């Protein structure tokens, strides 16, 4: 059932003319091969036996890491509901957020397929299409901005208390990211409507009900949500809390492997490691990118490459557990809806 639904999604996107926002399958295959080869090369360089020994010591961290990620998803779901301004119960947002995360992490949809699915599922649960699309867009914006803030905190910690020589380049990157945060928010506020109008043709082929007027209504709804300052602050605080919780996973995993790290070191490794993963969004699962980023960042504190790769494996194990469960949840929801439609 899962393969059928996934294939139908790709087929519908292709017929709708959405080939450009989504990577062609040949590109996906090439990126998987290159990313997988990078992981194999890094593991061979660090030593398979050493990685296995480190991973064996930290394997017990996976169940707590799964629980931590569920807490992160709950906080993100609550933030999403606040940014939209209400709607279904938080538990529904939590399930949809879980499915959204699973599709984006487990399927080669360039971090877009899960967001489209989220809008669709919210619409099925009584949220108006314009509100669902605008709220999801705003939620993604808040998530990206808070990740930038979290990453900036990592660079700041590296500049203030990092190893010798790191302060200079860390301060420069921190200044660039500060400008990037401001530019991102400004672009969201004043530059979205022309972009949406340019995309209306392929969107209209996928969603026949979408017109220029509805796109302008979506932009108006997004601007309305932007004006709710209290909701933006509350949602941003929850997203930032979700990012900070990830530090615990890194700290505990390194401690289990015998590489005790303080809070500052765990903050730097988690924040910059996640930034590296986000930079590799075009590669399914950020294969190779996450491992390489963690090897570089952890190496700043003398943590060996085998431990950094083992840390990445712990994160991937947690991600697979959450992702597989989320995909099954999605297929169950789609199957129930299909049966109800046929029965009706």
Q: What does the pLDDT look like over 240-268, one tens digit per residue?
A: 999 999 999 999 999 999 887 788 899 99
In this structure, are residues 300 and 158 in contact, taking their beta carbons and an 8 Å threshold?
yes
Percent over 90 (pLDDT), the chain: 28
pLDDT band of 34, cuts 50, 70, 90: confident
CA distance linking residue 202 with residue 163, whole number of Å = 50
Q: What three-state secondary structure class fits 257?
A: coil
Q: Is the pTM of this model over 0.85?
A: no
Name every residue whose Cβ is closer than 8 Å to that of residue 176 and which is 6 or more positions away in sequence.
Answer: none
CA end-to-end distance (rounded Å), the chain: 21
In tens, the pLDDT along 94-130 reads 999 999 998 888 877 656 778 888 888 888 888 888 8
Structure tokens at 122: 């919210």
pLDDT band of 20, cuts 50, 70, 90: very low
Q: What is the mean pLDDT of the chain?
A: 78
pLDDT band of 274, cuts 50, 70, 90: confident
pLDDT of residue 97: 95
| Lowest model confidence (mean pLDDT) among 43-52, 110-119, 223-232 | 110-119
pLDDT of residue 72: 96
CA distance linking residue 2 with residue 13, whole number of Å = 17
What's the full length of the chain, in residues? 344
Percent over 70 (pLDDT), the chain: 72
Which residue ranges make up each domain of the chain?
23-338
In tens, the pLDDT along 67-97 reads 999 999 999 999 999 998 877 889 999 999 9
H-assigned helices in the chain = 2-15, 25-46, 48-58, 62-84, 90-106, 113-124, 129-161, 166-190, 192-198, 200-206, 212-226, 229-256, 263-279, 289-299, 305-343
Higher pLDDT, 36 or 133: 133
Structure tokens at 292: 């390489």
- Report the pLDDT averaged over residues 333-344: 78
In this structure, are residues 132 and 225 in contact, taking their beta carbons and an 8 Å threshold?
no
């Amino acid at each position: 059932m899962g393969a059928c639904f996934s294939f139908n999604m790709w087929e519908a996107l292709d017929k709708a003319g959405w080939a450009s926002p989504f990577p062609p399958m040949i590109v996906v295959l090439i990126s998987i091969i290159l990313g997988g080869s990078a992981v194999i090369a890094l593991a061979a360089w660090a030593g398979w036996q050493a990685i296995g020994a480190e991973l064996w010591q930290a394997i017990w961290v996976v169940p707590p890491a799964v629980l931590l990620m569920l807490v992160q998803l709950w906080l993100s779901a609550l933030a999403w509901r606040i940014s939209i301004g209400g709607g279904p119960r938080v538990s529904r947002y939590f399930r949809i957020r879980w499915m959204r995360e699973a599709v984006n992490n487990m399927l080669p949809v360039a971090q877009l397929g899960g967001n489209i699915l989220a809008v669709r599922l919210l619409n099925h649960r009584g949220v108006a299409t314009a509100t669902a699309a605008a709220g999801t867009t705003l939620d993604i914006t808040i998530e990206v901005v808070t990740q930038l803030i979290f990453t900036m905190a990592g660079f700041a910690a590296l500049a203030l208390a990092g190893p010798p020589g790191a302060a200079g380049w860390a301060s420069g990157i921190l200044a660039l990211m500060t400008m990037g945060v401001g530019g991102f928010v400004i672009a969201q506020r004043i530059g979205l409507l022309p972009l949406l109008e340019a995309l209306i043709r392929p969107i209209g082929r996928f969603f026949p009900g979408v017109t220029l007027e509805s796109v302008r209504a979506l932009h108006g709804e997004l601007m309305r949500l932007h004006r709710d300052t209290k909701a933006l602050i509350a949602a941003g605080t929850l997203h930032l809390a979700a990012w900070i919780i990830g530090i615990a996973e890194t700290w505990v995993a390194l401690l289990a492997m015998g590489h005790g790290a303080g809070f500052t070191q765990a903050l730097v490794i988690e924040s910059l490691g996640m930034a590296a993963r986000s930079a590799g969004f075009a590669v399914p699962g950020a294969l190779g990118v996450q491992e390489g980023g963690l090897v570089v960042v952890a190496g700043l504190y003398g943590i060996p490459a085998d431990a950094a790769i083992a840390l990445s494996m712990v994160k991937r194990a947690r991600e697979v557990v959450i992702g597989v469960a989320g995909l099954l949840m999605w297929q169950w929801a789609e199957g129930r809806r299909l049966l109800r439609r046929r029965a009706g």
